[in-house]
Structure 1
């Protein structure tokens, strides 16, 4: 494999950009609840936009009953604050109604990233 020169300026800036820590939440949705979960996740954008330490937040759909959330934070404190926030509380409260089992929440350390400073909804 060819060696590629690395731009280390982004790596050093990761904490300042707020993308050092992440969460990946897998959501296995009950049959027939996919559109309701999509609406629920779309409505979450406004709440997470108010969270100072939630740097990025993505709600994605892989199929009719297969969704996920991925978000990033500057540090562990920001990640914990988000988990205790409006969307986290609503996710826990609505889990029995919407999901097969408990959402799978995985903590991650971000290794590399690219940011484009914009937010919104697709579709």
Structure 2
């Protein structure tokens, strides 16, 4: 619930700040204010990841892993995740290499390697 109730909403406001600040000369300031908060939320999420297995919940694959795989490509960006949340980036990489999902991730994200 943390990703969809705390992190995901930051994109609702940040993607179209002019909706929320219609009379502002600089609506992009809303995204500038949200970005550090979003990063802190991701750090909290990463701290909750299990080290007991390849997935967020350890040995249990779940929808959390799918969410993480997609959202590691959104703001703050793949490079930020690599530097600050390497365990989430590793989970994303494993999801991207699942045979049933690899072609889908390749179609949407340039960095995803095809299965060998």
For normalisation by structure 1, the TM-score amounts to: 0.30
Q: Which has the higher helix share?
A: 2
Q: Which has the higher strand share?
A: 1
